[in-house]
Structures are given as structure tokens and as C-alpha cells.
Structure 1
Amino acid sequence: MTRGFHSDNASGIHPRILEAIARANTGHAPAYGSDRWTAELDERVRELFGEHAEVFPVFNGTGANVLAAQAMLEPWEALIAGGESHMLNDESTAPQRVGGTRMLAIDHVDAKVSPAGMAAVFDEYDGTVHRPKPAALTIAQATEMGTVYSPDELAALRAEADRRGARLHIDGARLANAAVSLGVSLTEAAAGADCLSFGGTKNGLLGAEALITVDPRLGERARWLRKSSTQLASKMRFLSAQLLALLEGDLWHENATRANAAATLLAERLADLGITPAHPVQANAVFIPVPAEKLPAIAAELPVHPWTATVVRAVASFDTEDEDVEALVRGLAQHLR
């Protein structure tokens, strides 16, 4: 099987993105974001996210998340995150080592946090200089477990953040998948965010992500912090050209729609085998429960990622075909019979 389900990071580059890179690769252009592709990307992001929005292309999602944390927080402040948060569990020590960010974990359900969980952190803070001051919340949209925050859930978190004078960051590595799932725009899928990490690599790009700030105060900070965080590209036109190609038309929607549809098909075919996913399938990830004794063989022989001792994760990509889904289902059926 040449196309698997280990991760949407494992997929290739969309042909239209390669074409965009090739078009940008003509002659010389000013460095560090002074090129026309970055200017066009700036304009497109303002069209999508508002007149005060700014975009900061970076090399990877870790860079976008760490930059976001630094822009939101003072050195004595802390970032709240769900216990299953990618920033908390899968960025190694980058938030701490690069950004000096202290993180505080709260409970979650299917990787989604609640206003009550956020409120508890603020209520428990004693106001002294001896403890980190909670000041911002980060959530993922779609989440690490493939679930999606509804507009009402986003509004409730925004309202709690406002009550506490806190910032809200959205890790949008799969924001396009969340928007397609909800049937809304990218802006609506990230409603209420002061800043967001916008993902491209998981949706057909070659190593291009971005921090988008909606609050102009964060944009001013990010402008300086990106360089000191080693995320300022000299030949930025090649990052911006990719992001522009994704956002200027319907490519982001087309790619995410295909990935989500493949995940939905996989969930349907699993139901035929009597298997219920471990978490609701709302974007492009399916978490498949399997017997603990069979998981090692399944993970070794099928293109899935072992998630826990009894769950494997299958993530569909923009280029996943129905035949890939059927092949995976056949393989699972053989192992589980």
C-alpha cells in the first residue's frame, strides 16, 4: 500500500502546491518577507480573518505554536491546555526551552476542554508571585482525537476567556478539516481566537505553516519574536506561495473534504465489522479499538499508528482513495477474525 494512514504528515505535496513553488522560483525576490507573494498572502489573510489580522509564515507547527505562546504571554504567565493537547504532549520541551512557557493541564472529554475546566484554574490561582499566573488557553481545532469544537462551544470558551481577561489560541493544524466538518468558513471554525496556528503541511503543503494574529497587539509582538525563535525564513516567498495557493481559492476546502470523506468511509466500513471508533469521527482521524494482544501485529503490518495499548489511529489525507480505505479494512478484518 503506497498510501497509508500513519499520519497526514506522511502524504505527499499537492500538485498545485508544487506548481506554486515553481512559479515563485523565477529570478530573485526580496528576502525575509518583502516579496510580492508574502504581500498577497497578507492581503488574503486580512480578507479572511479581518482588517487587523497579520500572518507570519513559519517552518513548522511547533514553531507556530511556540511563537503563539510567546506572543500571548508575559514571562510570569502560564498557558492552559487540555491533558491531551498536542502542545502539552507532542512538542517535546519546545514551549519551555524556546519560549519559556509554563503549561497547566486541565481535564478533557475526547480532547475537548470546557469553560468550567478553564475557570477552575483561575479560581485556584492564589494571586501570589510564587505561582504562575494563568493567562491564556490553547485548544486544537480539530482536536488531537479527531473531534471538532462547535461554534457554540467556541463561543463559550471565548466568553470565559473574556471573563478572566485571558487570551485564546487555536492550534489549527487541521483547521481546514474542522471547517469542512462544520460546514463553515475557516474564520468561523476559529471564531473567538486571538491568534491561531494555521496548518498547511497536513493539507498538501511542503513544510509551510503560519501564525495568524487577530489581535493587533499580538501581531506586534510576533513580528519581533519570530526572528528570535528561529522561525523567520530568508526565502519566505516559497512558504508564502504555498499558503497563498492553499487559501486564495478552494484548495484548502477540496483537500480537507477528501480527507474527511475517507475517514467517514472508514468509520462506516468499520461498523460493518462491528467496530465502533473510540472517539467520534468528526474530521479526518479514526481511532480504532483493537485487542491488546493483536495490536503489535496490526501496527507492524498495517499502515496505522499505535495510539494506546488498545487503540490504533488511522488518519486520512488529501490524496486518500477509497481503495486505500478498503485495503485497510480488509487487513483489519484478517487480523481481528
Structure 2
Amino acid sequence: MSQALFLSDNAARVHPSVWEAMQAADAPDSPYDGDAVSAALDEKFSALFGRECAALWVATGTAANCLALATMVQPHGGVVCHEEAHIEVDEGGAPGFYLHGAKLLLGQGEGAKLTPDAIRAVIDPIRDDVHQVQPHAISITQASEYGRSYRPDELAQISALARERGLGLHMDGARFGNAAAFLGLPAAEVAGDVDALSFGFVKNGGMSAEAIVFFDASLADVARYRRKRAGHLQSKGRYLAAQIHAMLEGDLWLANARAANDAAQEIASACSDRLMHPVEANELFVNCTAAEREVLRGQGFAFYDWGDDAARFVTAWNTREEDARALATAIAAL
């Protein structure tokens, strides 16, 4: 029996346009990031966000998050993030490694989203003295780890707090495209007034390239040195840059995200009150017993358990309409 994969958008195929772009870049050029394809990224992202940007490619989302934060946070400082944030739960201690021991300061919030009040609850009790870790930055995730999207007014409130307290502001945008597709807003409004954005492509049809987009050029200057020191300055960087260009060309990143979101909405329509969170991207968290999950797996659906009483289903740019419809039918029949 063939499986319908809803494990992760990391498991999805690479978009054909990405392969074509890498093939087109398969010609001699300057090494590292000195090639013409890499050099053109700043202009490409500046056009997308309507403001001056500096963009660096890296191979993984973990590297993107950690290298971005390392430009804002000293080893004796801390990063405020949600307790369910990817940097806390799923990056194997990489933030502590890249930030040379800086601490993650964990906040709470519904749907894995931070609010200004949740951030204040973390930082206000910290004494302003050398005996306690001082906050240096805030990191938020768009869309969040539970597939929830920050609205522009929410982002504005968080950025205002960050400016008031002199904190850097980073956005983990592993599923930035899915948030943009759901909100139907320009990229600039989906990002808000952040200092750095980890713009995700691998989950959205890319192969092995993510972008760190800096809205402060001085941070980008620091990150270039840190990227080399961390072993992420690849000698044939044009192949990573080519992937990103392919995804930006004609807003392929957005079209792919819309396709994934549409598949998620098809499934969500059958879940009714089983949904643990509103579906605002391409992830669904669905209450179902162990026995019900076995029924679904017996019908050829692959997905991850989410605790003892739920499942997580993730759609991708290439999720087939018939597979999404079949899963919706199967869930409705439980």
C-alpha cells in the first residue's frame, strides 16, 4: 500500500524550478559568496520587503536562527522565546552552542505565540545586576510551532516593546510563506519591524538553502564572520543562492505555500471540534485516540503522534488534492 505523507513538509519533494536553477548555476564562478548569484540576493529581498536588506544563505533553519541571534546576543545575555519555540525544543542545544552559552528565557502564550504581557512576565522580574542573565533579544516564530500566524498589530506591539527595552527582535520564519499565504498580506507586513528574519525555503519546495534577511546592515556584517567561523560558508555558495532566487522568482515561495495551506484547509474542514488549534498555515493538530491513529495508519496515512491523544498532520506544496481529500474523509469517518 502506498503512503500519503503528512509527516512533515521537510519530507516533500524539491520543486522542479529549484533543480533547474541549480543546473543553470552549474558553471565556473567566484567561490564562497563572491558569485553574481549570491551578490544579487540583497537586491532581490530589498524589492520583496520594500526596504534595504542584506541577505545571507545558509544550509539549515537551525543555522539561520542561531547565526541571526548570535549577532544580537552576548554570551552573558538571554533570548526571550516561547517555551514551545523551535530554538528551545528542536534544535539540540544549538542556540547555546552558537551563542556561546547565552540562555533561552522561556515565555508562555496560546498557540505558541508570545504577547507583550508574556514577554514582560519573563523580563520584568529580572534584576538589573550582574548576578542575573539579562535579556538581549526576543525571538518569535511566524507561523508559530502550532501553525498560528501573528497579525500585523501583534507584531507592532512586540516590536514596540523590543524598542522600548533595547532588545533585538528576530523572527523564525521556517513557515513564513505559509503565514503570508494565510494572512494575504505583503511580506513586509508579515515580518513586521524585526531586525532579522530566518526566511524558510526548505519546507516550502527548496532543497538545502535558507536565507537570513537582515534589516540592519551592521548585523549582516557581523553574521558574515560568524557564518564562516561556524562552518556554514560553503565554497560553492552559488548553488544555495540559486535555490533562493528560484523560489523568489514569480513569488513561487508564495504559490507553494498557498498550495500547502489549501490542502490543510481541506483536511481541517473534516476535523470539526477535533482541532486543537485554528489552522492558519499548513499544520493540523488533531485530537484522536491511539486506536483511531492506528486506523488512519492502516489506511496508508503517515503522520506523527502528538503526545498521547493527538496527531500532527503537515501538508506541503506538493500534497495531492486526492490525498488531502482522502485524509479528510478518513478523519470524518472515525
Tell me, yes or no, if the aligned pair for 1:3 and 1:11 is still in contact at 8 Å. Answer: no
Could you list the per-position Cα deviations for residues 123-146 of structure 1 after superposition, in whole angstroms to 9, with x for gaps in the alignment? 111111121111111011001101
Equivalent residue, structure 2, for 1:224: 225
Distance 2:160 2:183 in 1: 20
Q: CA deviation at 1:326?
A: 2.1
Give how far 1:292 is off: 4.4
Q: Which moved more, 1:98-107 or 1:28-37?
A: 98-107
CA contact (8 A) 2:266 2:328 kept: no
User: In the alignment, what sits opposite 2:73?
Assistant: 73
What's the CA shift for 1:51? 4.8
Give secondary structure in 1 for the equivalent of 2:34: coil
- CA offset digits 1:187-206 (Å, max 9, x no partner): 21101110010101001011
Between the aligned partners of 1:70 and 1:254, the Cα distance in structure 2 is: 32
Alignment partner of 1:244 is 2:242: no
1:30 maps to: 30
Partner SS for 1:287: strand
Structure 2 Cα separation of the partners of residues 233 and 172 of structure 1: 22
SS of residue in 2 equivalent to 1:211: strand
Determine if contact 1:44/1:248 at 8 Å carries over to the other structure.
Answer: no
C-alpha distance in 2 between matches for 1:249 and 1:2: 32
Q: CA deviation at 1:2?
A: 4.8
Rounded Cα–Cα distance in structure 1 between residues aligned with 2:291 and 2:6: 21
Q: What are structure 2's unaligned runs of at least 5 residues?
A: none
Which residue of 271, 276, 279 corresponds with 1:278?
Answer: 276
**SS where residue 170 of structure 2 aligns?**
strand
How much has 1:48 moved relative to structure 2? 2.2
In 1, Cα distance between the equivalents of 2:64 and 2:51?
Answer: 21
Contact 1:49 1:214 in 2 (8 A): no
Contact 1:295–1:309 under 8 Å retained in 2: no
Q: Which residue of 2 aligns with 1:326?
A: 325
Return the offset for 1:210.
Answer: 1.3
Aligned AA for 2:328? V
> Which residue matches 1:128?
129
**Partner residue in 2 for 1:39:** 39
The aligned residue for residue 58 of structure 1 is 58
- Paired AA for residue 103 in structure 1: L
Figure out how many residues of one structure are paired with residues of the other and give that number: 331
Amino acid at match of 2:98: V
- Aligned-partner SS, 2:5: coil
Distance 1:2 1:15 in 2: 22
Deviation, 1:36, is: 1.0
Contact 2:266/2:325 (8 A) holds in 1: no
TM-superposition CA deviations, 1:200-243 (whole Å, max 9, x none): 10010111101111112211211111111221111000000010
Q: TM-score, normalised by structure 2?
A: 0.95
Give the Cα–Cα distance (whole angstroms) in 1 for the partners of residues 326 and 52 of structure 2.
47
CA RMSD of aligned residues (A): 1.6
Identity of matched residues, %:
39
C-alpha separation in 2, matches of 1:150 and 1:12 = 30
User: In structure 2, how many angstroms separate the alpha carbons of the residues matched to 1:147 and 1:325?
Assistant: 20
Residues 77-131 of structure 1 deviation map (CA, whole Å, 9 limit, x = unaligned): 1001001111110001111123323101011101111101111222111111121
The aligned counterpart of 1:98 is: 98
Tell me the CA shift for residue 296 of structure 1.
Answer: 5.6
What does the per-residue CA deviation read over 1:15-43, in whole Å, with 9 as the maximum and x for residues that have no partner? 11111111111x21111111111122221
Cα pair 1:295 1:310 within 8 Å, conserved: no
Alpha-carbon contact 2:43-2:53 (below 8 Å) kept: no
Distance 1:290 1:276 in 2: 7
Alpha-carbon distance in structure 2 between the residues aligned to 1:204 and 1:277: 26
One-letter code aligned to 2:91: E
